[in-house]
Amino acid sequence: MTDFNPSAKDTEAAHPKETPCARDIMTRHVHTLEPETDLYDVAKFLLKHEISNAPVVRKEGNKRILLGFISEEDCLDHLANGVFYGNPAPPQRAETMMRRHPVCIGPDEDVFTLTSIFISHHYRHLPVVEGENLLGIVSRRDLIRSLDRYYQEWSSTRSRDRFPVDLRKVANMRFVAGR
């Protein structure tokens, strides 16, 4: 029996050259909310765009400074409390309901790092930022789509002859097993 000792050539052949990163797979056109948006407009916004959450941003020129995230859950909580207990004073706005300091990723995070973050923390979306500037959002669906393409490329281009099977040894093994 020989020891398995892959060479650098084997390792290079095992993966495609470029591993996709957040910048390659993120959604760049992101529906955002302004901090002053009131509760009822936040709910209408999420429903209109059929999204489960939205970043709250402050616009500074061409930049969108990420302040936080507001989700369907946040809306449910505040809407139900508003209806059950009566209208809150002061009125709820995106900036008072949002979750501050969201976990963010940089544009150069690779798909394997992203997968680890999504699985470990059960996130559905992650904002992609450079400094405080929101560049886009990566969703689990974006990640699955990217990993599927990456896997298809990997499986179609990898060398199937790296570890050829000696069929004579395999065929003869069936007779050895009974001894």
Neighbours of 128 (CB within 10 A): 26
Structure tokens that stand for 149 in this block: 């393409």
What are the 10-residue block averages of pLDDT along the chain, 179 residues in total?
Answer: 46 62 95 95 95 94 94 89 72 91 93 91 92 94 93 73 57 44
Residue 140's SS3 state is helix
CA–CA gap between residue 63 and residue 134 (Å, rounded):
7
pTM for this predicted structure = 0.73
In this prediction, residue 31 carries a pLDDT of: 96
Residue 85: per-residue pLDDT: 74
* Domains of the chain in sequence order: 19-149 (3.10.580.10)
Q: Could you give the percent of the chain with pLDDT greater than 90?
A: 56
